[in-house]
Amino acid sequence: MTTQPILAADEASPALDIYRQFRGLIVSGQLGANERLPTVRQTASDLGVAPGTAARAYKLLEQDGLVVTRTAAGTRVAASAAVLPGPVLRRIRDLVGEAVSVGAEPDDVVDVLRLVWRANVGAA
């Protein structure tokens, strides 16, 4: 994707930590395309940092093409940065939640998903 951002020494720690946390969520697929990030104020409050620190982290994410910020829509994961579209990711989360609630084994769920996938691809 991109290289690590370069920050001044006084900015490096908290802003870079926030950047890395959100970058990890995006590139690992835990945040899908077009999913909204918390507001800068909410992130700052949640993490106990100044709003300017959270804003710098969001700016780094935007510079790397990981998020898009629009005034009315907030900051959202860029379509090009996400592993999966938001609706697919939400349905996977629902599937995992249901599987956990009935005590299904992860390997069984993955195996069945692969079989269903192959059946649907073969039928197309």
In Å, what is the CA distance from 106 to each residue of 25, 51, 110?
21, 39, 6
Is the full-model pTM beyond 0.75? no
**Which residues on neighbouring strands pair with residue 69, listed in sequence order?**
75
- What pLDDT shows up at residue 12? 53
Q: Nearest CA to 66 among 90, 38, 33?
A: 33
Q: Residue 9 pLDDT > 50, yes or no? A: no
The per-residue pLDDT for range 79-102, each reduced to its tens digit, is: 888 788 878 888 988 999 999 999
Structure tokens given for 39: 């507001």
The amino acid present at 81, given as its one-letter code, is A
E strand segments, 2-124: 67-70, 74-77
Looking at per-residue confidence, does 111 or 9 come out higher?
Answer: 111
